[in-house]
Structure 1
Amino acid sequence: MSGPLVSVVTPSYEQAEFLEDNLRSVMEQTGPSVEHVVVDGGSTDGSVALLESYEDRYDLRWVSEPDDGQSDALNKGIEMATGRWLCWVNSDDYLLPGALDTFAEARRDNPDSDVIYGDFVFVDADGEEIGRKYNTRPSRFVHKHYYQFTGNHSTFFRRGVIEGVGGIDEDLQYTMDTELFWRLLEADLEMTHVPGFLGARRLHEAAKTTGEPPEARLAEIRALKSGYDHTVPERALPDKLLTVAAFALQGTYHTLDGRPEAIRHMLA
């Protein structure tokens, strides 16, 4: 089959400070063929000049024009993409070296998978590691009451999966990833977790999910939680107890998967 195996889709706006790390992280991947689709919202901070300087160095396609926010940009990028698999990596985040090789190996070992995902690290504005997120097998309970089961910067979706569950919700500007992952959990999909680190999520002052959350973000979180289906025991038990139970379940999964380092990280 012609065309790239993977399309990395990157929404971007006024992120020139971090965008080059993102571009290089895709350009320097080895293994399967990859294209990079960057959808810029009309930045005026030097992002366009940076994109122009990279467009002849690897398979990079980009547009820079006003849009209706990150979710709109993502759907636009997914429509532009030609790869058989998709990966969504925001412009201030990046792929880790070897991520595509790890994905390709997991794909060969799990040919029926619709979603393949790994773990990710948290980095600061300078790209220094400041934390780790060890993911586990998919779990609605853990997703609802503790932490979403994966992160977009370490997840690969078979072509058509995102469109098949309805695309990115353009009414959401903060919780679109968590809401998408919930719909994936609700769908009849084959998902494979790779016990390795594939992406980096950058925490910095300008990130919209860093610091004290604005009311718009809190409202999205409340709406998201109210939309989850809950069993009778879940409706009866207090939230704090459910969080403890979800934390324990994730720890159990790490134990079953033979990952003592993940247990130590959870308890640190």
Structure 2
Amino acid sequence: MPAACSTPALLHHLDAPASWHDLPRRVLVRGWVFAPGAAPLQAVRARVGGTLISGNVGFHRPDVKAAYPDAPDDYTGFQIAIETPRGRFPLELEALTAGGEWWSFLELEAHGKPRRRPYIFGADSPEELLAGQLALQPRHPPRPLQPEHFPAVHLAPGTSLPVVDIVTPNLNQGRWLPAAVASTAGLDGVRHTVRDGGSTDGSVEWLRESASSLHSWVSEKDDGQADAIARGLAATAGEPEDLMAWINADDHYLPGAIEFVRRYFAAHPRVDVIYGNRVMVDEDGAEVGRWHLPPHNDDVLKLYDFVPQETLFWRRRIWDQVGGIDPTFQFALDWDLLLRFQAAGARIEHLPRFLGAFRLHAAQKSSAAIGSTGQAELDALRRRTFGRDLAPSELIESSFINRYLRRSARRELAARFGLRPSL
């Protein structure tokens, strides 16, 4: 990755934080940044000591375009959730240009609070708890990815395991696609299909050479990720009890996860949908954090999608009942699907085991699209669920969301002492 360079060409402004002194453990840096007369910036990140933290670009800022006509568009806003050290620390903000170069636009010395309230007690504020406990940001320096140890699932003699169809959408993710495919290759009862959208980065050549590791693959133009997934899953066929899933090309399953999932579904025929815990990995596949989720909560799902998509599996019967993926969603397609599962009366369970790895990198969809596209879709789904727009305070200060996040923090603390919740 190119090193960041300092340049006067980037204009920026910070809306928050108001001060860089006595910062809480988690702080949300918000503002706008752009290169005058140039294409929109592709990504933002913060450099905190030796740790790189990816942020989100593309937030709607028509006020900036009105004040600066040479701004590229109305979507120059950004935000980065930063885990701050105690005491003084150097901080640098960088932006990725359309030309593929990282440019530094802010350098300063910040100061974190010396004493902080633990997340299990609610942190220093509801906003800090929400931004800190389950965030798509590194939680610690890179270290080797630790395997999951799955418990035995006992089945009655003669019980057959469901087949699982998995689809991977891909567009120029050839750097990470092999890991996604390798995590299913050679497994019994797995039919893995890659839907490539016309990549130009060598993905197609790799797929052609690695076809024996897949059930099938195709490369053709599509209308985006949701369209590719919808097409791929629509092309599958199976029994109502069989399973379905998709995993993005930059993510992968943990060893043993799919076999465990198949056995769990076989032992629990009334369960329609399951998901597990998430491991976050960096661009090189090193572990940088974990999500320790509490038991599933229907009320929480209506407000936030804390379900790690790369750990999500469901039965074909519930998919057929709700009509599958809605390809009009480009960012929140998994939350839309889950809400429709829930509305149809699906039995949804969280399994407290780590099933999949989510890769943190600057160009990931969750970072790149949250602003202009993603937030509008999230707002639309909440409006559909509740019949009205929700005030920000209803999202941040919700008592049951705070309880859910504190339960997550307790599970994370217990894991440090080797304590694991039972299934």
| TM-score scaled by length of structure 1 | 0.84
Q: In the TM superposition, what are the counterparts of 1:90-169 in structure 2 within 5 Å?
A: 90-145=248-303, 147-169=304-326
Q: Please tell me whether residue 171 in structure 1 is matched to residue 325 in structure 2.
A: no
Bigger mean CA offset, 67-76 vs 184-193: 184-193
What is the alpha-carbon distance in structure 2 between the residues aligned to residue 9 and residue 259 of structure 1?
35
Q: Is the 8 A contact 1:142 1:247 kept in 2?
A: no
The alpha-carbon distance between structure 1 residues 49 and 2, as it changes in their structure 2 partners (threshold 3 A), is farther
Q: Secondary structure at the match of 1:247?
A: helix
Shift of 1:260: 3.0
The alpha-carbon distance between structure 1 residues 100 and 60, as it changes in their structure 2 partners (threshold 3 A), is same
Bigger mean CA offset, 131-140 vs 62-71: 131-140
Structure 2 equivalent of residue 10 of structure 1: 168
Q: In the TM superposition, what are the counterparts of 1:38-49 in structure 2 within 5 Å?
A: 38-49=194-205
Structure 1 equivalent of residue 401 of structure 2: 246
Q: In the TM superposition, what are the counterparts of 1:218-257 in structure 2 within 5 Å?
A: 218-229=375-386, 238-242=394-398, 244-252=399-407
Considering only CA atoms, is the larger Rg found in Structure 1 or Structure 2? 2
Q: Please tell me whether residue 214 in structure 1 is matched to residue 368 in structure 2.
A: no
Shift of 1:102: 1.4
Q: RMSD of the alignment, in Å?
A: 3.1
Runs of at least 4 residues off by over 6 Å: 1-4
Shift of 1:240: 2.4
What is the alpha-carbon distance in structure 2 between the residues aligned to residue 40 and residue 80 of structure 1?
14
What is the alpha-carbon distance in structure 2 between the residues aligned to residue 211 and residue 171 of structure 1?
18
What's the CA shift string for 1:93-115, capped at 9, x where partnerless?
Answer: 11110011211231233122111
Note the residue ranges of structure 1 that are not aligned, 5 or more in a row.
none
Structure of greater relative contact order (alpha carbons < 8 Å, 6+ residues apart) = 1
The alpha-carbon distance between structure 1 residues 134 and 114, as it changes in their structure 2 partners (threshold 3 A), is same
Q: Please tell me whether residue 260 in structure 1 is matched to residue 414 in structure 2.
A: yes
Q: Is the 8 A contact 1:14 1:45 kept in 2?
A: yes
The alpha-carbon distance between structure 1 residues 173 and 211, as it changes in their structure 2 partners (threshold 3 A), is closer
Question: What amino acid sits opposite 1:261 in the alignment?
Answer: A
What is the alpha-carbon distance in structure 1 between the residues aligned to residue 417 and residue 230 of structure 2?
36
Q: Secondary structure at the match of 1:16?
A: coil
Q: Is the 8 A contact 1:125 1:204 kept in 2?
A: yes
Q: What count of residue pairs does the alignment treat as equivalent?
A: 256
What's the CA shift string for 1:24-73, capped at 9, x where partnerless?
Answer: 111154xx4111111111111111111111112x3420111001111111
Q: Is the 8 A contact 1:165 1:187 kept in 2?
A: yes
The alpha-carbon distance between structure 1 residues 177 and 2, as it changes in their structure 2 partners (threshold 3 A), is same
Shift of 1:216: 2.1
Question: 2:209 pairs with 49, 53, 69, which one?
Answer: 53
* Larger helix share, 1 or 2: 1
What is the alpha-carbon distance in structure 1 between the residues aligned to residue 287 and residue 328 of structure 2?
32
Q: Is the 8 A contact 2:195 2:219 kept in 1?
A: yes
Shift of 1:134: 2.4
What's the CA shift string for 1:180-208, capped at 9, x where partnerless?
Answer: 11112222112232211111111111112
Question: What amino acid sits opposite 2:281 in the alignment?
Answer: V
Question: What amino acid sits opposite 1:216 in the alignment?
Answer: T
Question: What amino acid sits opposite 1:163 in the alignment?
Answer: D
Structure 2 equivalent of residue 203 of structure 1: 360
Shift of 1:218: 2.1
What is the alpha-carbon distance in structure 1 between the residues aligned to residue 267 and residue 162 of structure 2?
20
Q: Is the 8 A contact 1:138 1:149 kept in 2?
A: no
* Larger strand share, 1 or 2: 2
Shift of 1:259: 8.6
Shift of 1:250: 4.9
Structure 1 equivalent of residue 48 of structure 2: none
What is the alpha-carbon distance in structure 1 between the residues aligned to residue 244 and residue 339 of structure 2?
18
What is the alpha-carbon distance in structure 2 between the residues aligned to residue 194 and residue 3 of structure 1?
18
What is the alpha-carbon distance in structure 1 between the residues aligned to residue 327 and residue 309 of structure 2?
16
Question: 1:64 pairs with 215, 219, 222, which one?
Answer: 219
